[in-house]
Structure 1
Amino acid sequence: MGQIGSAGERRLQSEYGTGDRAAKFYSDQMLDHLNPTMIEFVGRQEIAFIATADASGECDNSLRAGTPGFMHVIDSKTLAYPEYRGNGVMASLGNILENPHVGIILVDFVQDLIGLHVNGSARIVDDEVLRSEIADLPVDHSGGRIPERWVVVDVEEAYIHCRKHIPRMAPVPRHREWGTDDVKRKGGDYFDAKATPRHDSDGQVVEEPAPAELTQVIAPGFSVAPAGTSGN
C-alpha cells in the first residue's frame, strides 16, 4: 500500500496527538485486500451500508440487504453487490457514475459484534455482462428476482470496525419477500413526507401538501399512496 489515510486524517492526528495510535492501527488492522477471514465474514452478512458522493461531494448513504452471500466476493481485491428494480431515483448509482469512490460497512449485530469497512472504486456492470464473466455469480438471492445490474468494487482498503458501540440484536423468525412494489409492505409514507409543505430559501411555501383524503392510513405511522404515485 501507499501512504495510508487522508491528508485531513494526518493533519488532525498531528494536531490532537494521536499519530502513534493511528500508525499502529494502520499497520496492524488495515489491508489493501480482503483476507480469508474477511471473505468469510462478507459471505455471511445480510445487510450492508453503502456510502457514495457525487462529483461535488454531496453525500448519500443507503442500505442494501439480502440473504447471506448477496455481497459476492469475486476475489481478494474485488467484490460485487446486486442492484434490483427500485424507486427509480438511482441515487447511489448516479453518484458512482460521477465519482467512483465508495465506502461500505458490514456489521455483525448477532454473533461476533464486529464490523468491516471496505473502501474502494466502483463501477456499474449489467447483470448479463457480469454473469458471462463470473461463473459463480449468485443466481438467486432475492426470491426469484434477477438483478438488473451489479456494482463491482475494486478494494483499496479493508479494516475492522471495533465492537465497542455495536449493540447485540437477536434474530427472529420471519418470512421476507425481498423486493416489492407493494406500498404497504414497503412502509408507505411512514414519515408523512407527502403531506409536508415544501419551502424555498426564504421560508415561503412553494408546494402545498397533498390533501389528507389522498392518503389511506393502513397502520399507525404507515400509509398507502394513491394510484399513480411512486414509492421508495
Structure 2
Amino acid sequence: MTVIRTLEDLESLFGEVGAPSLQKETDVLHSVYRQWLEAAPFAVLATSGPGGLDASPRGDPAPLVRVTDERTLLLPERRGNNRIDSLRNLLSDPRVGLLFFIPGVNETLRVNGTARILTTPDLLASFAQDGKLPKCVLEITVDTVFFQCGRAMLRSVLWTGPSAAEVPTPGAMLAALTRGEVDGADYDAALPQRQRDTLY
C-alpha cells in the first residue's frame, strides 16, 4: 500500500493548479457570486468543534441566504431534529464552510468564513416563513468564495441519477439501526405529514 505523506508527493500526484482555478477565488462577494447566491435554495454547512466534524443540509425557497454586503451573509436556522451539532460547534470554533447548490446546475459555490449566532427579534422576524420564525440566524463573515467546477456533478449524474425509490427509506434505516425498536413502516407512513406540519 502506497500512502502519500508529504505535500511534495501530493502536489506531484496532481500537477500544477490551472490559472483560472486561482483567479476565481475572491475575498468578497463579487456581483456574479451574489447573483449565484440569490438563486440558490440549498447548501451544505460544515463546522468543526470539540465533538467532531459536522456537515448538514440547509434549505429554503431561494435565496437561502441574504447578502447584506460584500462580506456578509445571513442564514436562517429553521427547526429540525434539535441535535444542533453545527451550532454547538460554532460556540467553540466559528469557522464555517458552505457549498451552495442550484438544482440542474453542475457548478457549485463554495464560501469559507466565520459565523456567529444571532437571535435579534427584528432579524428573526425578517426571515419568517409561513408565519414561523427561525430559531436563530447565522451571520457569516466571508473569508473566501469561489465556484467549484461541474466535474463531480457530471460524474455523479446527480440531477438525472437513481430515484429515491432505489435507496432505503428513513423508516427502513431506523428499523435496521435500532434492530426493530422503531417500526419502519409506521415511521415512513407518518413522516410526510409530520414533515409538512413541522416544515417551519
Are 2:94 and 2:115, in contact at CA under 8 Å, matched by a contact in 1? yes
1:192 has 2:182 as partner: no
Q: Could you say which structure has the larger radius of gyration?
A: 1
Residue of structure 1 equivalent to 2:3: none
Larger RCO, structure (CA 8 Å, separation 6 or more):
2
2:149 is aligned with what amino acid?
C
Q: 1:109 to 1:12 in 2, by over 3 A?
A: farther
Unaligned runs of at least 5 residues, structure 2? 1-5, 161-168, 192-197
Residue of structure 2 equivalent to 1:114: 107
Deviations 1:175-208 (A, max 9, x none): xxxxxxxxxxxx76351257625xxxxxxxxxxx
Deviation at 1:139, TM superposition (A): 3.9
Deviations 1:144-173 (A, max 9, x none): 221121011100010111011213637xxx
Deviation at 1:217, TM superposition (A): 1.8
Q: 1:78 to 1:14 in 2, by over 3 A?
A: farther
Residue of structure 1 equivalent to 2:25: 30
Residue of structure 2 equivalent to 1:16: 11
Residue of structure 2 equivalent to 1:47: 42
Number of residue-to-residue matches in the alignment: 175
Match of 1:104 among 87, 98, 110: 98
Structure 2 residue matching 1:49: 3-state secondary structure: strand
Are 1:83 and 1:149, in contact at CA under 8 Å, matched by a contact in 2? yes
Q: 1:196 to 1:67 in 2, by over 3 A?
A: same
Deviation at 1:215, TM superposition (A): 2.6
Unaligned runs of at least 5 residues, structure 1? 1-10, 132-136, 171-186, 198-208, 226-230
Q: 1:121 to 1:19 in 2, by over 3 A?
A: farther
Deviation at 1:13, TM superposition (A): 5.7
Residue of structure 2 equivalent to 1:163: 150
Are 1:215 and 1:224, in contact at CA under 8 Å, matched by a contact in 2? no
TM-score normalised over the length of structure 2: 0.74
Structure 1 residue matching 2:64: 3-state secondary structure: coil
Q: Distance in 2 between matches of 1:84 and 1:108?
A: 20
Which stretches of structure 1, 4 residues or longer, exceed 2 Å deviation after superposition?
A: 11-20, 22-26, 137-140, 167-170, 187-190, 193-197, 222-225
Q: 1:194 to 1:113 in 2, by over 3 A?
A: closer
Trace 1:205-220 onto structure 2 (pairs within 5 A).
210=181, 215=183, 217-218=185-186
Q: Which has the higher helix share?
A: 2
Cα-Cα RMSD:
3.0
Q: 1:215 to 1:37 in 2, by over 3 A?
A: same
Identity of aligned residues (%): 23
Residue of structure 2 equivalent to 1:90: 84
Match of 2:130 among 117, 140, 143: 143
1:81 has 2:75 as partner: yes
1:45 is aligned with what amino acid?
A
